[in-house]
Structure 1
């Protein structure tokens, strides 16, 4: 790696560093949540390597705890990750000249944080030749931070005394993820309707009520948005 490439890589790493304050606690509590489902740290790491998405991992964990069928669990995790299609479409023009190996590597390392700190840099025409190294620096820094904090959280969770019930960690983390997204009346109304629907359908088999409630909430939010814009 020559000096020019190394500088661009390190600039990407440095751009990610301010996000440590949010990523590390999220990784720790997700790791604790993994341990509370009875999954071993080794299996948890494998799961995290295959499902490199904190939100999708938490969805899968929650549904596994509820005894949800595997197909619904997989589909729900995929729905959570649909935003990566938008990220990929945004990044594609900047990486189109790269080799297939590069594209596969960067696609695997794609995360909310890596995208957020890199997209402005990539959109600057003067950075077209170096953008992939900048993105790689930010993405690898995020990947290492996430996997390390997740593993530490699992180790901590496994060693927590049995009397210290931490079953609340998964729903608490979901609340931490959801609250910042409620930025207007339509999302607030959507969240309230979905919550009420989930409560009313709590007794449905296979906990399918959670998925139905999410669909209802999304539909209501879209209707409110359309009504407000008309």
Structure 2
């Protein structure tokens, strides 16, 4: 089986790209808004391009931009970005049964390319954590579709940032795109409750300086999510009991 470089002619590669195509429209809109926001925050053309290509984490980019613009300490920027991306630690544990047989270099590259929606779409297609030959080409099709959609629109936003009027309300459009992407990730009672707790905590802590309400919201959501996972549910014994 050809694993790297990916074979675009593989039917599973094309299937992964096709499954990701509808979500790529929202990803592209979000990328456009993020590209504009980076330039208007004062990063400039080349630094914005570098951030888009190297960081490739829309939520972390948007969370850090107000901090960069206000001259927040570097540790606050790093801590905020790390907190926003903590969910990928959980995602990586879920990916392990599928990708553990791959060489480390390929796993590192896929870890850079894989996003929330790639995780959702892949897990829906392959719910059983058992490696199969079609999984890797399918994943490549999805992650490359996502990456191209993001980078094309992000670069477009960066290049046209000085031309696009602020009155167009792209910030609000980006918020709507982000809400749509977030909604697609809410697939269980635990995720819905964690999202509502995060929203309430963010509003309650809005007065904190340096956008620290984002960190408070993330911490509250993680705490509630862990608690929900340990609560007994239908057909599941309480945590700590023997089965």
TM-score (norm 2): 0.74
Q: Equivalences for 1:103-114 in 2 at 5 Å?
A: 103-114=107-118
> Equivalent residue for 1:122?
126
> Equivalent residue for 1:191?
199
Number of aligned residue pairs: 221
Q: Distance in 2 between matches of 1:112 and 1:169?
A: 22
Per-residue deviation at 1:140? 0.8
CA deviation vs aligned residue, 1:2-25 (integer Å, no higher than 9, x gap): 989622211111111111331121
From 76, 79, 85, give the equivalent of 2:80: 76
Per-residue deviation at 1:214? 3.7
Report the CA distance shift for 1:136/1:12 in structure 2 as closer, same or farther (over 3 A).
same
CA contact (8 A) 1:10 1:137 kept: yes
Q: Distance in 2 between matches of 1:89 and 1:124?
A: 14
Q: Equivalences for 1:1-230 in 2 at 5 Å?
A: 6-123=10-127, 128-160=132-164, 164=166, 173=174, 177=178, 187-188=195-196, 190-199=198-207, 201-202=208-209, 207=210, 209-210=212-213, 213-214=216-217, 218=221
CA contact (8 A) 1:190 1:220 kept: no
Which structure has more helix as a fraction of its residues? 1
Q: Distance in 2 between matches of 1:221 and 1:3?
A: 42
CA contact (8 A) 2:197 2:217 kept: no
Q: CA RMSD in A?
A: 3.6
- Where 2:65 maps in the other structure, the secondary structure is helix
Per-residue deviation at 1:50? 2.1
CA contact (8 A) 2:63 2:80 kept: yes
CA contact (8 A) 2:42 2:69 kept: no
Provide structure 1 residue ranges, at least 5 long, that are not aligned to the other structure: none
Report the CA distance shift for 1:186/1:125 in structure 2 as closer, same or farther (over 3 A).
closer
Q: Identify the range of structure 1 (43-52 vs 3-12) with the bigger mean alpha-carbon deviation.
A: 3-12
Per-residue deviation at 1:210? 3.8
Q: Distance in 1 between matches of 2:194 and 2:120?
A: 24
Report the CA distance shift for 1:25/1:208 in structure 2 as closer, same or farther (over 3 A).
closer
TM-score (norm 1): 0.77
Provide structure 2 residue ranges, at least 5 long, that are not aligned to the other structure: 233-243
